[in-house]
Structure 1
């Protein structure tokens, strides 16, 4: 696997600057993390369209809602824990309930918070945002996917939560590939098990599929970059072929991608589902590779889950 030569946040800020030049209504709001998020570059280009409210995340969301009501397209930025847990009521009422157009970026998802440790390591942010009516929850894999989806986020009217890896992403997709907000991306066809992966777990899923192939197990791999709304049609079509499923996410197994897929299948096409994710634990200090091993977020964990799911369907 090859890491991109730039942090994903750099691509994100490039896109903000590019689309702000095309659309005068784009503004950004910060909670004293402009250096961490890299958005100081946007502030240098558009100081009159940059608002740093300080360490007041709830106030930031309320202010963004007011700006949206006045016709602006506000993008807010902070760490995932503060973008969701800390501001849940403001996001629910001031933004979603009011039907406003605020884009909320949460950086350093799951174990990628690393040395910020358990207090900043949100394992439940997708679950929180997924439960808010009208919310779109999007997590890009790499820069190519972010570039393709970003204009769709700008054009969509309504609240969007962008779960963004701040550091180097593993390069999975090529520039110019097409993606659609709300639609999964079929990466490899298979007949034995469906693997649905999001975020940093997509690279591990690619590795797992290649290893399973060596053992004669043909896994279908689908990237679910938009956890909400879930691409129900693609999920159902895939499991209709394979008869079982595995989900892989850098998030708790409660309330995230695994829950979304399981909820759909239990109602529409009950099949065995195994979930690869954090098993109801808080985070801790550590580098991403160590934490992925500790919490079972690796290719070998996906392989084990795939074999277990296949065995269950044969009972």
Structure 2
């Protein structure tokens, strides 16, 4: 009788373990991105998406300048509390880069953070922001990037220790922190709505300017409120109206020239951001400024 009870308990335990395992597989399953990817992209329009997204700032070789920024050979390292991540080669090389990808595979990588092999990408790749990208902008970006020079430089492996080396677990992180809704909601002017798209999606400003919790998730309650630099050097500034008192004209001038209202000049990683933004139409820069003026202040 005792033996029968033990067997029943054993079977019940096995069923529970199996159920938990199945639930874990479902919860961590890589997502997909629906869309009609047969439509052609506009490479000329894609160049603006490329600059707004800051693709070269992360994926060009460390120290690259000028035209060399168009060679997306990767290699730049990003230090964090979870390890050091290295930007991969995303040039159109068929083996070392993404030259043999389809637009559907590109969309899944950029908007869902999933590789063609079905692996989760680490969220140092800002797909949580790019998720808001329009399908048209995605197609245009792909068309532009296919015309860039190819590099055969191999991508460098990330330096990440256990348990963060288990990519399947990133599926749980995505369920917790990847959202489909914009942070700033309500009735927005046309300019502010465009600015929201540029800031929250393409330019992914929140990835640096918003503080994170212990799991690396963005604290949306302190959106754009600044925080410690993940690299351990200094602080990323608060750019909400609580701290940033510049006028919209001041902001547009800064995005265009890199000069602050008191004639200080931009430096560090922000210099690359300004270089990218300065390539956008003035209407887009005015839209970003309009959005930043309506972001809830973080005190």
| Higher alpha-carbon Rg | 2
Same fold (TM over 0.5): no
> How does the TM-score come out when normalised to structure 1?
0.28
Normalised by the length of structure 2, the TM-score is: 0.29
**Larger strand percent:** 1
